[in-house]
Amino acid sequence: MEIIHIKDDFIKLGQALKLAGLVDSGVDAKFVIQDGLVKVNGNVEVQRGKKLVKGDVVSFEGKQFKVE
């Protein structure tokens, strides 16, 4: 599992997908999230602005990353 490191208290889901290299742009992130293709801690998440905190695990297209 890949780990992305954040320096603030949280990162928004769309930004995290870009940082992890799973999408190329914010527009791509918007569409995959709206289409219900992204899971946060095992639950489908449809809010692009969902705040992720340390310990959250994101899944998309068979890949996972953890926020640290």
Cα separation, 23 vs 8, in Å, equals: 21
Each residue of 1-58: pLDDT tens digit? Answer: 899 999 999 999 999 999 999 999 999 999 999 999 999 999 999 999 999 999 999 9
Cα separation, 23 vs 28, in Å, equals: 6
- Residue labelled with tokens 């940082």: 19
What pLDDT is stored for residue 55 in this prediction? 97
Cα separation, 52 vs 13, in Å, equals: 6
The domain 2-67 having CATH identifier 1.10.1380.10: the answer here is no
What pLDDT is stored for residue 1 in this prediction? 87
pTM: 0.93
What pLDDT is stored for residue 64 in this prediction? 96
What pLDDT is stored for residue 58 in this prediction? 98
